[in-house]
């Protein structure tokens, strides 16, 4: 069972110094998983009837989730615990679902503003997805070479030679392999008809040239193998999930009848724990609707346990800690 604490309650349990140490133990020299293991910070955020969020509320929610995830006393310190001023930070978005099932631009830009407040130069932040088209469909403006925040697709710029990671052999996006020194995954909370869940780890399928090759056996161990490659593993510092709304069935594409208001923004330095959390909230909604759980439906996200076995994060549901901002 997921353990839920407010940030204040968690501090009282483990001690204020220990909670602050979650952030202090996460310097940019680390992979982002030495501390904060199993912790998912969540903050409330709702949308209006047109599925839009208030910009100021979005900024507050993203900041609160970052503080809850890291234990830092303020957002700037949370950012500095994860990134250095010299980092080139790539933010991998999952925009397959268009405007209705992709990270909201207001939330993504709120994250960018917090990164800048923590010392990362705006010019050194790159929003990216597999294609320009997917970004534009989700409401993002392409800016490949202009001033300010860059945003573009990587589908035409792969490594020349494939590299092997476990059972996969793929060319990675050169933005990931050559340009970025730090990575953030920014996904949504949705089920996947083959993998079970598409939130944190599955998002990184978008940085290899041949993801369609790796969808048998519920994408296991392939999802975990993509992320355990040093190009991802050693650079991935943070996962953020837009859970204002979520989808419990019919994914990964948008299916309006299966979307439900979750009202949360989540953040974690542990990408495996982020997927555990997404799995839990999806199953909770499925049960509420009288649907079988993902496991009962024959498509549990097996790659989560594989990723945990690789040492990529916490895979034990009993050790998942949800810290409410």
- Picking from 148, 223, 182, the residue whose alpha carbon sits closest to that of residue 80 is 182
Q: In which residue are the tokens 């510092």 written?
A: 237
- Picking from 262, 267, 277, 265, the residue whose alpha carbon sits closest to that of residue 240 is 267
Q: Which residues of 28-38 are buried (b: 16+ CB within 10 A; e: fewer)?
A: beebbbebbbb
pLDDT tens string 170-222: 999 999 999 999 999 999 999 999 999 999 999 999 999 999 999 999 999 99
**What contacts 113, CB < 8 A, 6 or more positions away?**
59
pLDDT tens string 112-154: 999 999 999 999 999 999 999 999 999 999 999 878 899 999 9
CA distances in angstroms from 210 to 170, 205, 283, listed in the order given: 6, 9, 30
Q: How many residues does the chain have?
A: 325
| CA–CA separation, 168 and 298 (whole Å) | 24
For the chain, the structural domain boundaries read: 3-324
């Amino acid at each position: 069972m997921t353990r839920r604490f407010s940030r204040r309650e968690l501090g009282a349990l483990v001690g204020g110094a220990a909670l602050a140490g979650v952030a202090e133990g996460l310097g940019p020299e680390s992979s982002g998983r030495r501390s904060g293991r199993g912790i998912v910070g969540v903050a409330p955020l709702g949308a209006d009837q047109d599925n839009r969020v208030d910009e100021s509320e979005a900024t507050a929610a993203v900041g609160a989730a970052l503080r809850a995830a890291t234990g830092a006393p303020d957002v700037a310190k949370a950012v500095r615990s994860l990134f250095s001023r010299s980092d080139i930070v790539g933010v991998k978005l999952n925009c397959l679902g268009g405007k209705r099932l992709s990270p909201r631009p207001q939330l993504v830009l709120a994250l960018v503003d917090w990164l800048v407040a923590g010392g990362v130069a705006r010019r050194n932040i790159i929003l990216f997805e597999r294609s320009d088209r997917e970004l534009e469909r989700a409401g993002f403006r392409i800016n490949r070479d202009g001033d300010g925040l860059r945003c573009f697709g990587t589908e035409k710029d792969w490594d020349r030679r494939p590299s092997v990671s476990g059972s996969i052999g793929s060319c990675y996006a050169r933005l990931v392999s050559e340009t970025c020194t730090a990575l953030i995954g920014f996904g949504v909370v949705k089920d996947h008809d083959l993998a079970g869940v598409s939130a944190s780890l599955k998002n990184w399928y978008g940085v290899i040239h041949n993801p369609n090759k790796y969808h048998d056996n519920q994408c296991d161990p392939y999802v975990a193998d993509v992320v355990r490659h040093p190009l991802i593993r050693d650079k991935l510092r943070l996962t953020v999930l837009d859970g204002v709304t979520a989808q419990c069935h019919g994914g990964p594409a948008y299916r309006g009848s299966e979307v439900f208001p979750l009202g949360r923004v989540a953040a974690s330095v542990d990408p495996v724990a982020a997927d555990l959390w997404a799995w839990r909230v999806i199953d909770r909604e499925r049960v509420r609707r009288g649907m079988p759980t993902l496991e009962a439906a024959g498509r549990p996200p097996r790659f989560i346990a594989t990723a945990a076995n690789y040492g990529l994060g916490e895979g034990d549901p009993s050790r998942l800690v949800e810290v409410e901002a």
